[in-house]
Amino acid sequence: MIIKPKEATSIINSLIGGVVPKIGVQHITVGRSSEINAMVSALDEVKNGHSMVKFWIGDFGSGKSFMLHLLNTVALKQRFVVANADFTPDHRLYANDGKGVALYTAIMDNIAIQTKPEGGALPTLLEKWIEQIITKTAEENTILLTEIRDQKYLSLIQNNIMKTINEITEVGGFDFGTVVMKYYEGYIKHDESLRRNALKWLKGEYRTKTEARQDLGVREVINDLNYYDMLKNFCKLFVNMGYSGFMINLDEAINLYKISTSTMREKNYEKILTIYNDCFQGKVENLFINFAGTKEVLENPRRGFFSYDALKTRLATNKFETAEIRDFAQPVIKLLPLDHNEIFVLLKKLKEIFDFNYKTQIQISDDEIQQFMEELFNKPGASEFLTPREVIRDFLNILNIIRQNADVDKSILFGEIEVSDERPDESGLDGIEEL
């Protein structure tokens, strides 16, 4: 296994903490080859100008977040700009109190490219695009590249920025272009405050039009109503720069399901429908949006996606699909649990990464890994509650104990493992009053 030290540390620390590592997930991928092949095909379609929405559905701890991070890795290699965000009680698709634009800000904060896979790549992308405009302007006006950055050519560059943005954007293009011009002005004049304000606007962090007008001279701000248009503008900008497209991963859809008022919940589902229709009707190009949630989030007839009829008809599973015969081209991809052989392979990979990370050689044989699995899977409640997340965390915790206590009796450690129900309570919501 060829793995970077940074990846190994990220994998071990994240998995012990019960979360998916931001980088290196390709090194711990097992049993998902069909899903990965489907991803690559979907990315090729999006690269060719189509847009797509996928729903990754599985039980708690079944690997939904893992698949989204794996999608990131694959997409970054295919020259996509990618971003991840979680739905939370304060991050929604539809809102009238700032929760929609808060989701947008989380997306913009987490923008990643291959050279910055951990996020925070928006300033890098802006400067890269501006450099392309500078080069183009210099060529068109036969000005030397060494001279074009002089302030006397500022308006020439700004005109080209606005012209290009007008060509590629639709809604909100004027203010978008004005702010990018201001960013360039700060870039040329070494005015950090101006650059910071422009970035603040582009990330949806201005709350009042007055403040934005004072700082940047623009009439509008990004808000709950227009943030989706701005995401589409950025998608066009990234493609204009030469990227394959823009992929956005939205995890923890349980938090839309949990919205207590039916009207607000339906408005969020209506927004999903809008995005779905835009992507599959060709109203937007090169955009790939992924949602991840549990089966209950999808199929619950009272508060899941299926409670909204227009979504139910679009997200119904192919009736000819079985556990053995899968259809990965449909919008909903149901993640089946890893089997015991796949989990064994995964634990062996993790042991190798653990050894590499700590520069050690833990004495644990294949037979002992099997013994660990048997102990765990035979515990009361294992068949109902046990998830890959818990198996992985227990295994790494045991490796940590062995690493620091070489004489410990492994069989005693294995016997002390307990299985608990870590799933979030989705059933108790029925008692919440609906408005």
Instruction: Give 276-310 pLDDT, tens digit per residue.
Output: 999 999 999 999 999 999 999 999 999 999 999 99
Helix ranges (DSSP H) in 48-150: 64-77, 99-109, 122-140
Q: Which whole-number Å values give the CA distances from 200 to 16, 55, 176, 276, in the listed order?
A: 35, 31, 12, 29
Q: Per-residue confidence at 431, pLDDT binned at 50, 70, 90?
A: very low
Angle among Cα 162, 223, 268 to the nearest 5 degrees reads: 125
Query: Backbone phi, then psi, for 421, in 5-degree steps?
Result: -85, 105
pLDDT per position as a tens digit, 5-55 = 999 999 999 999 888 888 888 898 887 778 888 888 999 999 999 999 999
Q: What local confidence, expressed as pLDDT, does residue 428 receive?
A: 44
- How is residue 157 written in tokens? 């560059």
- In one-letter notation, the amino acid at residue 126 is L
Q: Are 315 and 305 in contact (CB under 8 A)?
A: yes
* Residue 433, pLDDT score: 38
CB under 8 Å to 160, separation ≥6 — which residues? 133, 136, 137, 140
pLDDT for the residue 57: 92
Q: What is the pLDDT of residues 240-279, one digit of tens each?
A: 999 999 999 999 999 999 999 999 999 999 999 999 999 9
SS3 at position 125: helix
397 phi/psi in degrees, rounded to 5: -65, -40
Angle of CA points 165, 170, 175, to nearest 5°: 60
Select the more confidently predicted residue: 360 or 418. Answer: 360
Q: Tell me the pLDDT of the chain averaged across its residues.
A: 89
Beta bridge partners of 332: 55
Beta bridge partners of 86: 251
Determine the pLDDT at residue 303: 95
Compute the distance between CA of residue 4 and CA of residue 9 in angstroms, rounded to an integer: 9
Q: Do 249 and 81 meet the contact criterion of CB atoms below 8 Å apart?
A: no
- Domain map of the chain by residue range? 1-30+339-420, 32-119+244-334, 122-216
Token pair recorded at residue 109: 């904060």
Q: What is the CATH number of domain 32-119+244-334?
A: 3.40.50
Q: Residue 26's pLDDT is what? A: 87
Region 233-245: what's the mean pLDDT? 95
Signed CA dihedral, 208, 211, 217, 222: sign only: negative
Cα Rg for the chain, rounded, in angstroms?
24
Of 426, 125, 147, the residue nearest 303 (C-alpha): 426
CA atoms within 13 A on the CB side of 236: 20
| The pLDDT value given to residue 220 | 93
Going by pLDDT thresholds of 50, 70 and 90, the confidence category of residue 420 is low
* Residue of 248, 251, 211, 243 lying closest to 227 (CA atoms): 248
Averaged pLDDT, 204-210: 95
pLDDT tens for residues 122-174? Answer: 999 999 999 999 999 999 999 998 898 888 888 899 899 889 888 888 777 88
With vertex at residue 422, the alpha carbon angle to CA 420 and CA 424, rounded to the nearest 5 degrees, is 145
Residue 425 confidence (pLDDT) above 80: no
Query: In the structure encoding, which two tokens stand for residue 303, read together?
Result: 């508060």
3-state helix, strand, coil split of the chain in percent (to 5) is 55, 10, 35
- Quick: pLDDT tens for 63-116: 788 889 889 989 999 999 999 999 999 999 999 999 999 999 999 999 999 999
The percent of residues in the chain predicted with pLDDT above 90, rounded, is: 61
Task: Supply the pLDDT for residue 430.
Answer: 41
Whole-number pLDDT of residue 383: 60
pTM: 0.85
Digit-coded pLDDT (tens) for 209-226: 999 999 999 999 999 999
Average pLDDT over residues 397-408: 89
